[in-house]
Amino acid sequence: MNTAAQPARQGLSLKRQLLLWLLLPQLVLFLVGGALAYRIALSYAEKATDQSLTQSVRSLARQVKPIGSGLLIDFPRAAQDIIEQDPQDRVSYMVSSPPGRFLLGNAHLPAPAITVAANSRDALLYTTTIDGKPMRLALLELDYGDANTPQRLRVQVAKSLVMQQRLTRELVDDMLAPLLLLVALMSLLVYGGISRGLQPLTRLQAQLGNRDSPSLQALSPIELTQAPQEVHALAMAVNQLLSAVRRSLSQEKRFLNDAAHQLRTPLAGLISQTELALTESEPQALRARLNKVLSGAQRSAHLVHQLLSLARNEVEIKLQPLDVAELARDVAREWTPRAVKLNIDLGYDGADHLMVAGEALLLHEALSNLIDNALTYAGTGSEVTLSARPQQDQVVLEVQDNGVGLPAEDLPHVFDRFWRASELPGGCGLSLAIVKEIALRHGGSAVVLAALPHGLRVQLLLPRFEETPK
C-alpha cells in the first residue's frame, strides 16, 4: 500500500480553532453565570417568602388576645379571605393552644421537629410537605394566662413555594436575558476580530498562491504592511526561504549558462579535429590530429572540473575549526613534484597553528588553484612561495611568485569569471574566481597585489578563529 501518495490529513483551520477556544470559555462562563444567577435569585426569593411568612405569623398572633385564662381570637372572615385569595399560591394557617389542640385554621399543619422557645422575637421557619406539595412554614409560640394556670399559644402560617419559584424564574430571566445578549454581542465581536486579525494571513496566502511558476520573479520577497508582529515574522521566514530558493535557482541558471557557453567552443573543436583525423591517411598526420583531440579533451575535462568546483562552492557549507597552517604545508608538499618537473622552486614559509572556521576541502581547492596558476604562468626557473601568517584578527594565506606578473590595469579583473590575461593553453579563467568564491563563503576576501620587483601576490584573507580556553 502506497501511503506516500495519500494526502495528509488536515486539521481544523486556524479560524475555527480560535473561535472554538474563544467561544467555548464564553459558553462555560454563561452556564456558570446562569447557575450563579439561579442561586442568587432563589436566595432573594426565599428571603422574600420568609419575610412575608414572618409578617403574616406575627399579624395573626396579634389577632389572638388572652383574656383571663381564655383567648379572644379577632380574625374576621375578610382577613381570612385575603390570606387565601390566591388559589395558586396556597396559604394555610393554624392556631392551637396548648400546642397540638386545634383552635383555628388548618388542623393538618405539622409541628416542627425541635422545641420552640416561647415568646421568641424571631419566628421559626422550616420547610415541610403538605398534601404532597412542598410548603414553607413560619411558627411563633406565645405564653398567656396567669402564674397558676400558664398556657402556651402556637401560631403557624404555611405558604406554598409556587410564588417563590415564579419569582426565582422571573429574576433569572431578567438577569440571563442581558447576559445572553452580551454573550451574543461578544461572540460577534470575537468573530469579527478573528476575521480581521487573520486577513494578513489571507493576503499572504493570496500572494503565495499567485506564484505558480519557478521563475526568479515568482520568488521575489512578499510584502505585508500593517500586519501583526507574528505575521511579519512568518513573512520574514518565508522571504528567507524564497531568497534561498531564488539564490539556488540563480546559481543553477548561471552554472548552466556558463557550462553551455564555455563547453560549446572546446566541443566544437573536438568534433572538427575528429572529423579531420578521420580524413587523414598518413600515420604522422593522424597522430598530430589525435594529439590535438587529446589536448582538447583535457581542456574540456579541466573546464568541467572547474565549473563543478564553482557550483559546489556556491552550496551551503558547514564551517569547523581548522588549522590552515598545517593544511597549507600539506598542499605545498602535494604540488612539489610538479614544481620540480617544471624546474620551479616551490617553498612554504609560515607560522604554526593558525586556526580559522573553515571547510578543509574547499580551502584545499583554493590553495591548489593558486599554486596551479603560479606554476603555470610564473615560468621555468621562477620561485613560488606559499605562506601563512596571522594579521590582527585575520589569517593571511598567500601565494607569491617572481614571474612576469600582470599590468596594473589587469589586476582588477583577475577574479572575474572566464577572464584570462594569458593565451597559454590549458586555462579557462575560473581558477581565481573559484578562490574568491571560497573566500567569500568563509566570511573572508581575496586580493591580488603586484610583487616587487616583478611577479604576483594573491592573498586569501580569512577571519581568525579564537579558541575558547579550557
- What are the tens digits of pLDDT across the range 9-31? 555 677 788 888 888 888 888 88
Q: For 37-148, list the strands marked E by DSSP.
A: 64-67, 70-73, 91-96, 102-105, 124-130, 133-144
**How far does CA 437 lie from the centroid of its chain?**
35
Please choose, from the candidates 321, 459, 348, the residue with its C-alpha nearest in 3D space to the C-alpha of residue 397: 459
Q: What is the CB-side half-sphere exposure of residue 224 using CA atoms within 13 A?
A: 24
And the C-alpha cell for 427?
Answer: 586555462
CB atoms within 10 A of CB 138: 26
Q: Give the helix/strand (H/E) hosting 460.
A: strand 456-463
Give the integer Cα–Cα distance in Å for 158 and 441.
96
Quick check: 401 and 383 in contact, CB under 8 A?
yes
8 is written with which cell numbers? 495528509
Amino acid 325: pLDDT? 92
CA distances from 107 to 111, 186, 325, 340 (A): 11, 57, 117, 136
Is the distance from CB of 353 to CB of 323 less than 8 angstroms? yes
Per-residue model confidence (pLDDT) at position 385: 93
As a whole number of angstroms, the longest Cα–Cα distance in the chain is 167
> How much is the pLDDT for 113?
73
User: Residue 350 is inside which H or E element, if any?
Assistant: strand 345-350
Neighbouring-strand partners of residue 153:
142
**Which residues, given as ranges, of the chain have pLDDT below 70?**
1-12, 67-71, 73-89, 117-119, 145-147, 149, 210-218, 224-228, 251-270, 295-296, 298-317, 418-429, 467-470
Do the Cβ atoms of 384 and 339 come closer than 8 Å?
A: yes
pTM of the complete model: 0.44
Helix (H) or strand (E) holding 157: strand 151-160
